[in-house]
Structures are given as structure tokens and as C-alpha cells.
Amino acid sequence: MIAWTIVQIAVLIWAIRMLWKYYAVSGGNKFGLPEPPGPYGLPVIGYIPFLGSKAHLTFAKLSQKYGDIFQVQLGSQKVVVLNSLDVIKEAHIKDASFAGRPSSASIEIFLKETTTNFSLRTGDARWKFLRKISIKALSMFASSRNSRLEAVVDEANEELHAELQALNGQPTDPQQNIFDGVAGVSGTIMFGLDFSNKDSLLKPVVSLGQKLSTFLAVGSVLDSLPFGPWIMRHQVKDFSESIRPVVQIVDKHIKEHLVHCKEEDDVRDIADAVALAAKQTPADLKQQLGLTDDQIRSIANELFGGGFTTITESFRWAINLLTAFPEIQERARRELAEVCGDRPLRLTDRSNIPYNEAVHLEIFRYSSLTALGLPHSTMDDTTLRGFFIPKGTTIFSNYFAHHYNPQYFPDPDSFKPDRFLTADGKLDADKAQLVVPFGVGKRRCVGENLARQELSLFIGRLLQQFEIRQDPSNPVNIRDVLPGLNRGPIQTPLIFNKIVL
Ligand code: HEM
């Protein structure tokens, strides 16, 4: 009896496999093309049990067998994974169908709880309009020709450096100090907050980044199983409760800007810029896009959210890596001293410090913070590399796999800034282009310039002031990362020795 049941199950599995294969290769679609290949999973849950906590690594391994483009079934979600820069560019730069965002449970809950209107919204006319406003608002700070960002980072650094100096070389976990410094900058450029006021913004934001990263993680039960939101109801409640105070407090800051801003000359910060954009948008366009003034203004909220954790985590990666490789730290500091002397680094110096720029590129590559980017979704039936991809398919771009591809980055597990320099010590522009931490194409990160400049000032000025060493009893860990959508670094206590000039 048992043997008979086993035979029946085996035949059933075989039949399902054959049907799936038949459907995939015979082309049940208008293009007559197969869907991308991929591994089989279990009934109902698909490939979820084999994904592990680091999906980018599992996907990188699968790509060795199935190629640059393959698909996996994660519960009820069909996911296509793109594993090389060429195929990622082909999809995101050339084909507008890939500019959507999935309507997964986690994203739906996030959209419901926040005033988010474009970063996790599908690529429609409203998204396009809000993205344009964001880019214009951000350009106010992120331009190497104006020094507004420098002045704000100067102020943050004053506090950060004083806190580190006061430790007198005692090992410390710098996470909170970095968090405060980045929050000071974000609070000022987004909402014009006085630095002494930043705590009102900070408290509710603490730990939200990691929660968000876990909440949106690939292959979560929440997104993949039909009753996911019910099974995960406690986590959903916890997430919603931690996000609400942040939304409220940020809304409060945005509202304070409404009264102030009447014309371009009144613009002091991003919240002003978006408040003005809301005022200047013709009523019929707002109606056509289904947008209220509140929704336009809440861009400031989104930019704050999008930039805060990513910059904090990248800064922490930078400090950890520079501590793990003291000779690289020393060489970067020497170059800063040669170019800047005793004065603080300026953004206009960046073209004269190729080694420091190479170090930053290698930090972005090695950390690959957003290993799988943000999820995209196809807005129409489309094709890629001879495969059919139906409308509504979730797309992940494995930036980690690209950044660790030995064809582009020989010996990828080693931290080697020199890989971005030419034989005569200049920055190799072609190699620099290959590092894509901000994504590519139509949904590429809008905060890229701001992030690059802010990090450059934070890291460069820290190196000018401090020698960073590891605590011998607690060595730096650059191999492991926190689980979740972001590859968050593990923080160990570090020693900050003030350099006496
Ligand atoms: C080191 C820092 C940062 C990294 C590594 C990073 C990375 C990314 C990535 C990979 C994406 C997804 C691109 C895609 O979907 O294809 C993205 C999107 C986005 N980022 Fe960033 N980002 C950073 C900083 C910032 C900053 C400072 C801001 C705001 C001031 C920001 C705002 C956004 C927004 C609004 C989007 C959504 C764009 C859209 O959907 O059209 N990011 N970022």
C-alpha cells in the first residue's frame, strides 16, 4: 500500500514537471517563446526552503547552472532574477516594461502605513512626475558647485568628531554616533532642522531601517504564501506600530513648511522645495494624476526614508573596511594630506584624490549594500534574451553577483581599491562605471549624487582627523552581514585616535 502511494506521488510529480516544461518551452504566450529556466521547488512553497537567509548568494549559485536570467517560484510569487550587468541594463535601460514595482503584501502594507507615493509605486505617470520633482529638489544640495552640503556636513562632523575625541581612544561601538551624524545632515537638508532639535526626529527612526530591511526581505513568508499576512500578523503589527510615529513626526515637519514657502527664493530645504512644487503644479495636472498637495509634499518624507539607512549603513561599511585594512586607510589619509594640507576636504577636491575615490568605489562594490536592488515588476508582457516574461512578474537584479563577478573584478573577495586605478595612478573611468550600487535605468536611485558627496565628506574628513584601529580583543568582522534586503554590516567596537596636527 505504502509502495503504491509512493509510486502515485512520483508519477504525479513527474506529470507536473512535464506539464510545466511543456508550458514553458512550447510558449503559451503571444511571442511563442519559453519562459526563463530555473530550479524546481516544492508544491505550494516552491523554492523558499532552499533560499537561505542570503538570497543573493543562492541566486548567484543558481546562475552558474541556469545562466544570467532564470526564474524561481517563491510560494505564489514567480520571480525572475537577472544576474549580470549586461542583462540588468538590457532590461532596465531599454525596456520601460520593467519599471514597475510588485504589489506584494509587504509593499502594500508599507504603502498603506506611509505616505509613500513613488519609490515603491509602479512606474506610472504619477511616479514619473513625483520622481522629476524629487530630482529637482535634491539638486539643490547635491551639486559640487554649491557648498550647502559641505556646510551641513561640517556641522555634523563637529559634533561627531567631538564625541569620538572625548572617548580618548577607548574602544567604542560607533553605530550611534554615525546614526546621529547622518540624522543631523538628513534632518537639516530635508526639513531645515536645527541640529539640537534632531532628537525629536531620531528617536522613532531608531531600528526602523533594520526592521524595514527584514520586512521587505526576499522570499519572506509574508509575500510568498497566500495567508502570509495572517501568519505574520504579529510582525506586521509590530512593523506598522514602529513606522507610524516616524510618519507622524515627519508629516509635522513638512506641514511647518507650508506657510513659509511662496517662491523659489524662499526655498531653504527639500521640504520647502516640494511644498513649492505642490503649489506650482496646475490643478488640472494634479487632477489628471490623482494627486493631492499632501501627496506631493510627502516626497520629503520618502527622500528622508530612502536616504537615511542607506547612508548610515554605507558609512559603517566604510569605517569597518578601512579599519580592517590599515595600510589602505593610511594611504588614503596621506593622499588627503598631500592635496588638502591642514584644511578640511572640499567637494571640489574629489577630482584630485583618485586613490580616495577608488577606495569609495571599492567600498560600494565590496559591501553591495542593496545586493538585489529594490524589486521591480513587469508592467506588460515582455521578452528578454529570447525568454517570455509575463506582466506582473517580480524582477530582482542581482547587483551582488555582478560586483563579485571575477570577469569584471578579478579576485572579487579581496578588498583592493587599486583595481580602479590606471597604471599612472589616475581613476579608471571605465572600471568606475562598472560599480552600480544605485541601480541602473529608469528607477535608478534619485539620491545618488547626494549619497556620493555626503559619504565622501563624512569619510574623508573622519580620516583627516582620526586614525581608526580595531580592538584586538574584538576584531572587525567584514565577512558576515545582517540578514534582510540590505547587507547591513556587523559592528564591533573600534578605537578612534585623534591625529595631532
Ligand atoms: C549609499 C546610499 C544609497 C544606496 C546604496 C541606494 C541604493 C538605491 C537602489 C539600489 C535603489 C533601487 C533602484 C531600482 O529600483 O532599480 C534606490 C532607489 C531609490 N533611492 Fe536610493 N540609495 C542610496 C541613497 C539614497 C538617498 C540619499 C536618497 C534620498 C535622498 C535615496 C532615495 C531613493 C529613492 C526615492 C529611490 C526610488 C527611486 C524610484 O523608485 O524611482 N537613496 N536606491
Q: Alpha carbon 167 to chain centroid distance?
A: 32
Three-class DSSP category at 453: helix
Going from the Cα of 19 to the center of ligand 1, the distance in angstroms, rounded, reads 40
Residues 11 and 151 in one domain: no
Residues 370 and 270 in one domain: yes
Domain that holds residue 18: 1-26
Residues 121 and 95 in one domain: yes
pLDDT the model gives residue 293:
84
**Whole-number average pLDDT of the chain:** 86
Residues 153 and 66 in one domain: yes
From 310, 363, 368, mutation site for ligand 1 pocket: most ligand atoms within 8 A of C-beta: 310
For ligand 1, which residues put their CB under 6 angstroms from it? 119, 131, 138, 302-303, 306-307, 310-311, 314, 369-370, 373-374, 437-439, 443-447, 450-451
Q: Which atom of ligand 1 is nearest to the CA of 451?
A: 27
pLDDT the model gives residue 145:
62
- For the chain, the first-to-last Cα distance in angstroms comes to 85
Three-class DSSP category at 380: coil
Residues 9 and 90 in one domain: no
Query: How many structural domains does the chain have?
Result: 2
pLDDT the model gives residue 9:
61
pLDDT the model gives residue 476:
94
Residues 113 and 132 in one domain: yes
Q: Which atom of ligand 1 is nearest to the CA of 270?
A: 30
Residues 271 and 321 in one domain: yes
- pLDDT for residue 168 is more than 50: yes
Q: Is 445 annotated as a binding residue?
A: yes
**Average pLDDT over every residue of 110-125:** 82
Q: Phi and psi for 229 in degrees, rounded to 5?
A: -60, -30
From 127, 296, 299, 438, mutation site for ligand 1 pocket: most ligand atoms within 8 A of C-beta: 438
Residues 62 and 9 in one domain: no
Which tens digit of pLDDT belongs to each residue from 7-54? 566 556 545 554 454 444 444 577 889 999 999 988 888 998 898 888
Inter-residue contact 402 to 396 (CB < 8 Å): no
Residues 86 and 127 in one domain: yes
Residues 127 and 35 in one domain: yes
**Average pLDDT over every residue of 158-170:** 94
Going from the Cα of 104 to the center of ligand 1, the distance in angstroms, rounded, reads 19
Which tens digit of pLDDT belongs to each residue from 296-331? 888 888 888 888 889 999 999 999 999 999 999 999
Q: Which distant-in-sequence residues (6+ apart) come within 8 Å of 158 by Cβ?
A: none
Q: Which atom of ligand 1 is nearest to the CA of 454?
A: 27
Query: How many other C-beta atoms lie within 10 A of the C-beta of residue 426?
Result: 11
Q: What proportion of the chain, given as a percentage, has pLDDT over 90?
A: 53
Task: Tell the residue number behind the cell numbers 525629536, with chain if given.
Answer: 200
Residues 447 and 339 in one domain: yes
Which tens digit of pLDDT belongs to each residue from 180-196? 899 889 888 888 876 56
Question: Which CATH number does the domain housing residue 80 bear?
Answer: 1.10.630.10
Residues 22 and 35 in one domain: no
